[in-house]
Amino acid sequence: MKKVYGDDMIYGLTGGIATGKSTVAEMLRELGAYIIDADQISRQVVEPDQLGAKRIREHFGKELFTVDGQLKRDKLAQIIFHNSSARKQLNHLLHPIIMKEMQRQTDKILKQEKDAVVIWDIPLLYEENLTNFVQKVIVIYVPQEVQCRRLQLRNNLNQEEAESRIQSQLSIEEKKSLADYLIDNSGTVQQTKRQVVALWNHLT
């Protein structure tokens, strides 16, 4: 169900794995945007005794947790990156909790500052059909070969492992075609920053 914020514009920020979305989000934050980070919230909801952790334990088993209740993220990642049905099940379990918290944070910001630029940073915005929660979408883009190379270096993966993770998401070219605003992050940091500043000036 779509969350209605009246005349307020909520922007979605997305991209592919290793396209540099976090870098652009930080640039926007420095310019004055309020970033609601779905990844950060997803980590919070699986902390010990949180509802997300409880749901994972019930559906995937206690072996995914340490004795003190910490989620074994690497072990969970190995399961979901190679099993699309498990990945969908995990998203089904956690997304309602995450979206509720994102809405709560947004409401709080807009009550305090009605002209705030609020950006929802959601990696799987398109994959999970969450675009109805935002009015416009900003996509961070690099060509897939650049994406693969950066992911290999960042996560110490071989090419096959990197491609498997990339293919678990909607292709970056398709996301590019769906974007309302596009930031090409395949060049230098300075080139990306110029695009981000231009976008910020447009949004404000």
Can you give the CATH number for the domain in which 200 is found? 3.40.50.300
Q: Could you tell me the pTM of the whole model?
A: 0.84
Q: Return the pLDDT at 84.
A: 84
Band (pLDDT 50/70/90 cuts) for residue 8 is: low
The domain tally of the chain equals 2
In a domain, 158, yes or no: yes
Q: How far apart are CA 75 and CA 204, in angstroms?
A: 43
Domain that holds residue 102: 47-116
Q: Return the pLDDT at 7.
A: 52
Average pLDDT over residues 28-37: 97
Neighbours of 53 (CB within 10 A): 19
Alpha-carbon torsion angle 44, 46, 49, 54, nearest 10: 150
Q: Is 112 in the same domain as 127? A: no
Average pLDDT over residues 119-127: 94
